[in-house]
Structure 1
Amino acid sequence: MAVLSKIRQRSFILIVIIALALFSFVLADVIKSGGFGTNSNNVGTVDGTDIDGQAFMRKVAQLEKQNQNTTSTQAINSVWEQEVRGVVIGNEIEKLGLGIGNEQLINVIKTNPYFAQNPQFLNEAGMFDEAKFREFVLSIKNDPNQDRWVEWQNFEKEAEKAAVEQMYYNMVKGGVYTTKAEGEFKHLLENKKVTFQYVTVPYNTVNDEEVKVSDDEIIAYMKNNAKKYKSENTTSIDYVLLENKPSKEDEAEMAKKINRLMFGQVVYNETTKTNDTLPSFREIKNVGEFVNENSDIKFDSTYVAKKDLPLEFQEQLFNLSKGEVFGPYVFNGHQCISRMLDRKPNSSAKASHILIGFAGAERSTATRTKEEAKTLANDLLAKAKANPSSFVTLANENSEDPGSKSNGGEYDNITPGQMVPTFNDFVFDSPVGAIGVVETAFGFHVIKVSAKYDAVLLGTVAQSIQPSEATIDAIYTKASKIEADANGKDFAEVAKAAAVEVIPATNIKSSDENIGSLGNEREIVRWTHNEDTNIGDVKRFETPQGFVIAKLKSRNESGLLSLDIARQSVGGILKNEKKSEILKKKMTGATLADVAKTSGGSVITASNIALGTPNIPNIGNEPKVVGKAFNLEANKTSGVIEGNSGIFMVQKTAVVEAPKTNSYASYISQEKTQQQNAAQSRAYQALKEKATIEDNRAKL
């Protein structure tokens, strides 16, 4: 029964985030009318232009409607970025005086798939008919319901805005060019190569305890590199989670309940005033009805393969005799008992094949004739029968099926009807171990049947393991006490007394929705960024997992990374700088051999390293080291080089010059394409950094 797979499916939620351009946000709904309301407070301001809250939330609601797997926060952040981009780029467009006329707007709109593919707007030749389109627009304009006309005008504005923005970006990309000198340099970066010897001592040979980095040092470093370590305002909290888990008493009671179903029970009948004996799970005749009455997941009559059963109980469940019951067992938060109802032999199979195509066969690129293909297939058949263990090698060397060639031609869990008829018939009509040749539209197949699988039909009663009301009340009482105590005492001490773990959550941005393992907790994010919330405040939140008691630990409004994050990244850089000073004392000697001896390292050769990809084998990216090797005189030893992974000393042994070429056109074209593709993003980021942006999303 597929009920066990359904339990597995219920154990997680797959969130797919789809970001689409808003210029098509009306499509089918623009014809219909509609709207969303909210307060008119501004969501933010960009260079003096207010982003109206009501209009903003209408777009958010529309995006959520179009992409049902998008969360509210994701939609808010997506629309916010659209609005900021629109204002920032819009100001530039206004300065340049860019715009489009009515005819150009129609050309833009008719590229929208809703209109381009809608029979309502196509002529007899299947082409977009502007006359029909204009008639459609006029009908909306003259409609007594002017809401539709307002929506249409909004759509036109968005379409025009998107088109003009694209015009602006095309102008930016059009201004990017690549010189011959840049093409030559790219050719040089990719093709000039150096071979050198080196000795290295990794930073991790010095214990972190030997070098101390203070918070003041980290802050000073970030200030000196402010652009690199720029950050939005963030908050940090400590929290404890009291999960809504069943108590041991709850589990014991549920075990009794499931056992009563498994073994039967005696109940008092109020009508007859007698005790009735209810049959056990193995005795009842209508299993489907019994499961539906007693299970949180309804009966499913699907036969399932062994691989689809719970791994921990796979053998016990699959090997049950007909009518036999297994359980109770716990699977994905459910107390379960399962009864074997039926077994279907040969419901799926494993087989391997070697496909030999010929000229004219479907999807085949072979040039051999059909007769030649048949001869080759029969030769391979003879070899496979003579030595069945060679089938994998024969398939890898000869099969023309890209879907299975790399794994010896094998297909596992083939179900009846999955393959073309002659292939299917051979697999399911032949015993395990059989090898033969069949012909299909794709060519000749040498097939080996490797295994046959049974499928089973199980009836499973699955009852969700949930806390009782008494347990939930106890958890609530405990959470309330922790909240009350933490408001006047040390949070860590209160948590310790309550035997719960304090969990830190750092670098929380106002636009975030997730907090660590808690997942989507937008309410907590808003609370941490609320102006009325003070450092040290404590609040209890009810979440799907249970009760969260959070304490606002800190706010970072410096414009730089929070210290919690910087200690990991910047702290590592500063530690390596200090470790470098310690390690330099070991790098002494006139030759690499001397240095290797004093440092405890080895002289290693790095061959044919290109400056454009400065990766040293088994070391990683080391541009400073490779760059130094290129600039050394032959056989001359460098000084100490502070690399990414450790300190180095190198000696150049050889350089292979880039081969001469008559044309750098391909390098120029490649570089130009890369730079043009990056220009749009760089232009916008530069304008955005210059803009004055007030972001009030934390209130949403």
Structure 2
Amino acid sequence: MAAIQKIRSHGTILMIILGGALLLFIVSSVITNFNIFSNANEVGSVNGKSLDAQTYQRRVEILSEELKTRNTMQSGKETALSDQEMSTVRNYVWQEFSTSQVIKKEAGKAGLSVSDEELDDVLRTGQAQCIQLFWPLVAQFGLGDQYNFQALKQFIGEKDKNMQQIAQSGNADAMNKYAMAIEAWDLVEKDFLPNEILLQKLNTLMSMSVVSDPISAKYDAARLSDAIDAQIVAIPASTIDDAKIQVSEAELQAAYDELKEMFYQNDETRDVKIIDVNVVPSPQDMASLKKDMEGSAQQLATATDINNVIGTASTIQYTNMPLTKAFFQSEVPDVAQRLDSGATGSVVAPYISKERDGSDVYTTFKVVAKEELPDSILYSVIVPRGKDLDSQKKSADSIYKAIAGGADWAALSKKYNQQGAKSDSIWMTSKMYERFGMSAEEVKINTTLNTTPAGEFTKIEGDGGDMIVKILDRKAMQTKYNVAIYRRNVEFSDKTSDTEQSKLNEFLAKNQSIDAIVKNAPKSGYKVQDYDALSKSGVVNLVAGIGNARDVATWIFDDAEAGEVSKVYEVGSKNDHLVLAMVTGVNKKGYLPIDNPGVRKQLTAYVKQQKKVQQLAKNYGKMSFEQASAVAGAVTDTIANVNAFAIYQGGVMAQKVGTPEVKLAAAICKTAVSKTAVVEGTGALYFVKVLTKKTTKHTDAFAQLIGANIAQSMLVGGQQGGSPLLTALIEKTKMDNNLYKFF
């Protein structure tokens, strides 16, 4: 108890992901564009509890930093998060908030709470998803890869002293990282860890309330003990042309009555149509870029000053020293695979490749030099002090001459309070310093350390002072490459962007109604995409997919009425999308009517699929297994280790059909070995032949346990899966979701 109180008194740390039913998202990087907070103060509310914009922003920043830290620790380099990762972060913060509010309310009704002793126990053991998942955020400050409660106590206890030392160093980035780690832990202890424990208690309570009657349990145990292998012949519904199937209004109404609950919506939605134009480089843009790349390649071949060629146009700045092939493989794999294809001094002709984010880049490079150099260097260094730069350099020169004259290195090192003994020296690996765009001074220092033979010493002169280094050992000799890379993003020009925008605006001027736009879009080369019954949460995914499109979402839900057409929006993470939005309908909370376009589309597809399978059954249902396998379009597959639990899990799937089938799972379970069955499935007509069936017998007690586990899993789900109970509670919770304004 004392330990938990001491940690609580000092501040903050790591973030938590709720266990059990919550989706796990690992996310990172700091938000840089949240000017919208001046226009909206609330991201949303759940059961009357609001999530304000400032809190939301800070939590996104913390979660972003966590993933950024984790990525850095795993890859050894710091990289920015992708648009998709940032979208995941923003989505997760809202999901975590909304789910936690539901858990708190339901746990309160059940009289469940979390005591300080329970928190203390979890903190001591570290047995929580949040602690294990977000430990890297504090581990980066020397606490070790594995969770260590004592190290954590010291980290929190010394936070004021450490922050003062960081502040004195003037390193603003380090200060922000440290403060963020402290704040994150406070969120874990005060909010997310209690929620995780509450969810576990709620699931446990519900599980213990479930019982299974002995007869059903024994039957379930027998079926779940089966391991059945079956061969399948499937005649897919897709073998029948859609156009040949007619659907009547009576059939649609019957399907609507059957599936009506699917069309219930908790919140108001919009029927939306979108034209999304992806702006790409024109042939003229590509020709201009190609000319620049070819000219730069020629200059690289003859230039005496590489930096004059690279300049600021290249997205990769030149480091004038040899680097390991592993570094190139990590940073520019396309360059790495071409390093050994040319001799020293050769220039690789310009080529187009893809970055990790999928964007195209144009690259040429010159292999300036190849050298055999160590990957690991053990060295000792003396950096004398001085009242000013001149006196420091004079002192360094004096020490250097003394060592050259035979003075003892260890003695001088001790005198100047520096590292000296071999056991006190420094190992440096290539991974510790390699990067593009090193300054001239960084290059000088690292080149000297790489090229000085073991046992020798030298003086390195720098703008900020001089140092004397002694190389004690060199290991892992390998080929390193001095490479000058000229790389340009394959981008469209302003002229191309203006042309595409003018074309779309001209199209809009000529087609001002939704009907006219839909009718004439294909003639002008535009595709209209339908988003029926688009919810506020659904529009978040739309915005995230396009990138930087919150203005479109805000227009759809805050400004537009049914029948209205938006202006042309220039959006996308690189302003590479032009979006025209149309709202065709506004759907109030409740059941969507049968005449809703989206509903009719789903019902029509459902009825057609049913009628196709019925037609297949009429045509081929009386065939033998062998005869069915010879039908045009039929596919065969083998499904192994099937038992009755597959029915509870949504069925089994023939991989070549791709549709989970509950009826197929049931037919496999009840068909005897060597016997066959015909099944009218959802996606195909199936012919089943059971090959083998192995059964393990269990005691009545074990059967009772299996029965209870089945019932429990249907109610609360697995430890890592979604909880039907929690899902149902969330669906019945009053929420106001404005997340679309914050993407």
Name the aligned partner's letter for residue 305 of structure 2: N
The alignment status of 1:624 with 2:663, answered yes or no, reads yes
Match runs of 1:215-254 below 5 Å = 217=251, 221-228=255-262, 230=264, 233-241=269-277, 243=279, 245=281, 248=284, 250-254=285-289
Q: Distance in 2 between matches of 1:80 and 1:59?
A: 8
Q: Structure 1 residues 58 and 116 mapped into 2: Cα distance closer, same or farther (>3 Å)?
A: closer
| Other-structure match for 2:95 | 81
Q: Does 1:524 align with 2:560?
A: no
Structure 1: runs of 5+ lacking an equivalent? 1-17, 24-35, 137-147, 264-279, 349-414, 417-452
Amino acid at match of 1:541: Y
Are 2:611 and 1:574 aligned?
Answer: no
The residue identity in structure 1 corresponding to 2:202 is: Y
The alpha carbon displacement at 1:53 in A equals: 4.9
2:716 maps to 1:679: yes
Q: Normalising by structure 2, report the TM-score.
A: 0.54
Q: Tell me the residue number matched to 1:342.
A: 369
Check 1:637–1:666 CA distance in 2 against 1; reply closer, same or farther (3 A cut).
Answer: closer
Whether the aligned pair in 2 keeps the contact of 1:176 and 1:679 (CA below 8 Å) is no
2:226 pairs with 1:207? no
* Change in 2 beyond 3 A, CA 1:172/1:317: closer
* Offset, 1:679: 1.7
Q: Which amino acid aligns with 1:283?
A: T
Q: What aligned pairs does 1:12-51 form with structure 2 within 5 A after superposition?
A: 20-21=17-18, 43-44=43-44, 46=46, 49-51=47-49
3-state DSSP of counterpart to 1:541: strand
Residues 154-176 of structure 1 deviation map (CA, whole Å, 9 limit, x = unaligned): 97477656655544333223323
Shift, 1:181, TM fit = 4.3
SS state at 1:327 partner: strand
SS at match of 2:619: coil
1:642 counterpart residue number:
680
By how many angstroms is 1:686 displaced?
2.9
Offset of residue 235 of structure 1? 3.7
**Within 1, Cα distance between the matches of 2:541 and 2:507?**
23
| Counterpart check, 1:320 vs 2:317 | no
The letter of the residue matching 2:261 is K
What is the rounded CA distance, in whole Å, between the counterparts of 1:119 and 1:341 in structure 2?
39
Task: Report whether the alignment pairs 1:481 with 2:506.
Answer: yes
1:170 counterpart letter in structure 2:
T
Pick aligned residue for 2:310 from 275, 291, 296: 291
Matched residue SS, 1:323: coil
5 Å-filtered alignment, 1:390-539, equals 457-487=482-512, 490-492=516-518, 495=521, 499-507=524-532, 508-511=534-537, 512-515=539-542, 518-519=546-547, 521-539=549-567
Q: Distance in 1 between matches of 2:38 and 2:115?
A: 34
Q: Is the contact between residue 213 and residue 571 of structure 1 (CA under 8 Å) also seen in structure 2? A: yes
- Structure 2 unaligned residues grouped into runs of 5+: 1-14, 23-35, 66-80, 144-148, 161-181, 355-359, 376-429, 432-477, 718-722
Report the CA distance between 1:253 and its aligned residue. 4.3
Aligned with 1:295: secondary structure? Answer: coil
| Other-structure match for 1:61 | 58
Sort the Cα spacing of 1:470 and 1:669 in 2 relative to 1 into closer, same or farther, 3 A: closer
Q: 1:298: how far off?
A: 0.9
Does structure 2 conserve the Cα–Cα contact (< 8 Å) formed by 1:586 and 1:598?
Answer: no
The structural deviation recorded for 1:540 is: 1.4
In structure 1, distance between residues paired with 2:125 and 2:629: 70
Secondary structure of the residue aligned to 2:368 is strand
SS at match of 1:281: helix
Q: TM-score, normalised by structure 1?
A: 0.57
d(CA) in 2 for partners of 1:594 and 1:261?
Answer: 66
Q: Per-residue displacement from partner, 1:189-232 (whole Å, max 9, x unpaired)?
A: 13457899998755344322221346885575244223345556
CA 1:624–1:299: 2 relative to 1, 3 Å: same
- 2:146 matched to which residue of 1? none
Q: 1:37 to 1:154 in 2, by over 3 A?
A: farther
Measure, in 2, the Cα distance between the counterparts of 1:598 and 1:290: 66
> What is the rounded CA distance, in whole Å, between the counterparts of 1:100 and 1:469 in structure 2?
58
Matches of 1:315 and 1:111, distance apart in 2: 46
Q: Equivalent residue for 1:4? A: none
Alignment partner, residue 52 of structure 1 = 50
Distance 2:654 2:280 in 1: 51
Aligned partner letter, 1:668: L
Provide the rounded CA distance (Å) in 2 between the counterparts of 1:679 and 1:60.
Answer: 32
Contact kept? 1:244, 1:475, Cα under 8 Å: no
- Please tell me the residue identity of whatever aligns with 1:521: A
Partner deviation per Cα, 1:45-73 (whole Å, 9 max, x = no partner): 55xx423353x641443233332458676
Task: Tell me the equivalent position of 2:218.
Answer: 184
Change (3 A) 1:598 1:58: closer
> Using the alignment, how far apart are the partners of 1:219 and 1:593 within structure 2?
36
Asked if structure 1 preserves the Cα contact closer than 8 Å seen for 2:273 and 2:582, the reply is: yes
Give CA-to-partner distance per residue, 1:78-109, whole Å, 9 cap, x none: 34434443443444344344445666666677
Q: Say which one has the larger Rg.
A: 1
Does the Cα contact within 8 Å between 2:275 and 2:527 map onto a contact in 1? Answer: yes
For residue 550 of structure 1, what is the amino acid of its counterpart?
L
Distance 1:74 1:606 in 2: 35
Q: Evaluate the alpha carbon distance shift between residue 667 and residue 346 of structure 1 in structure 2; reply closer, same or farther with a 3 A threshold.
A: farther
The 5 A counterparts of 1:249-288 are 250-263=285-298, 280-288=299-307
| Distance in structure 1 (CA, Å) of the matches to 2:240 and 2:271 | 33
Separation of aligned partners in 1, 2:120 and 2:214 = 41
SS in 1 for 2:210: coil
Residue in 2 aligned with 1:542? 570
- Partner deviation per Cα, 1:475-520 (whole Å, 9 max, x = no partner): 45445434444436822566567x5422415254312434396345
1:245–1:658 Cα change, 3 Å? closer
Q: After superposition, where does 1:89-108 map in structure 2 within 5 Å?
A: 89-99=103-113
Deviations 1:268-302 (A, max 9, x none): xxxxxxxxxxxx43332233554346634211443
Q: Which amino acid aligns with 1:58?
A: T
Counterpart code for 1:78: Y
Report the alpha carbon displacement of residue 241 of structure 1 after superposing the two structures with TM: 1.4
Following superposition of structure 1 onto structure 2, how do residues 326-365 of structure 1 map, counting pairs within 5 Å? 326-332=348-354, 333-343=360-370
Q: 1:525 to 1:324 in 2, by over 3 A?
A: same
- Closer/same/farther in 2, CA of residues 260 and 72 from structure 1, 3 Å limit: closer
CA spacing shift, 1:454–1:216, aligned 2, 3 Å: farther
**Identical pairs, percent:** 16
1:550-604 deviations in Å (ceiling 9; x for gaps): 1315346365599777678654442232124433443586x95999799999999
1:222-268 Cα offsets, whole Å, 9 max, x none, are 442233455563543221416163561x44444554555455xxxxx
Moved more, 339-348 or 539-548: 339-348
Distance in 2 between residues matched to 1:106 and 1:313, nearest whole Å: 52
Relative distance call for 1:177 and 1:540 in structure 2 (3 A) is: same
Q: How many residues align?
A: 527
- 1:551 equivalent in structure 2: 581
Q: Can you list the C-alpha shifts for 1:370-416, whole angstroms capped at 9, x where unaligned?
A: xxxxxxxxxxxxxxxxxxxxxxxxxxxxxxxxxxxxxxxxxxxxx99
Q: Which amino acid aligns with 1:552?
A: M
Contact 1:240 1:495 in 2 (8 A): no
Contact 2:642 2:665 in 1 (8 A): yes
Q: Distance in 2 between matches of 1:597 and 1:253?
A: 57
CA distance in 2, matches of 1:577, 1:154: 50
